[in-house]
């Protein structure tokens, strides 16, 4: 799984992490099932990254 990064991450880096986690989630869901604790953990991490990206985008558009 992708290691948690600090808040200084750029939007492009965050998008790369989101894409990587999406692929990882698809593989985990396919291999282990959607209710597997590991799959759910990846899903939660992906949600966190998406929310972080959305907040960064909102801040950027507010400037």
DSSP class of 2: P
How confident is the model at residue 47, as a pLDDT? 98
Q: How far apart are CA 35 and CA 40, in angstroms?
A: 7
Beta carbons of 11 and 57 less than 8 angstroms apart: yes
CA angle 12, 26, 16 (to 5 degrees): 10
Q: Residue 3 gets which letter from DSSP?
A: P
Instruction: Give tens-digit pLDDT for 40-56.
Output: 999 999 999 999 999 99
User: Binning pLDDT at 50, 70 and 90, where does residue 8 land?
Assistant: low
Question: pTM of the predicted model, to two decimals?
Answer: 0.82
Q: In the prediction, which pLDDT does 42 show?
A: 98
Of 8, 4, 6, which is closest to residue 21 (Cα–Cα)?
4
| Amino acid 1: pLDDT | 57
Q: Is the pLDDT of residue 25 over 90?
A: yes
């Amino acid at each position: 799984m992708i290691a948690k990064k600090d808040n200084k991450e750029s939007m492009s880096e965050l998008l790369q992490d989101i894409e990587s986690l999406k692929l990882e989630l698809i593989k985990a869901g396919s291999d282990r099932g959607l209710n597997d604790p590991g799959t759910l953990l990846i899903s939660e991490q992906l949600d966190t990254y998406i929310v972080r990206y959305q907040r960064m985008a909102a801040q950027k558009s507010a400037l």
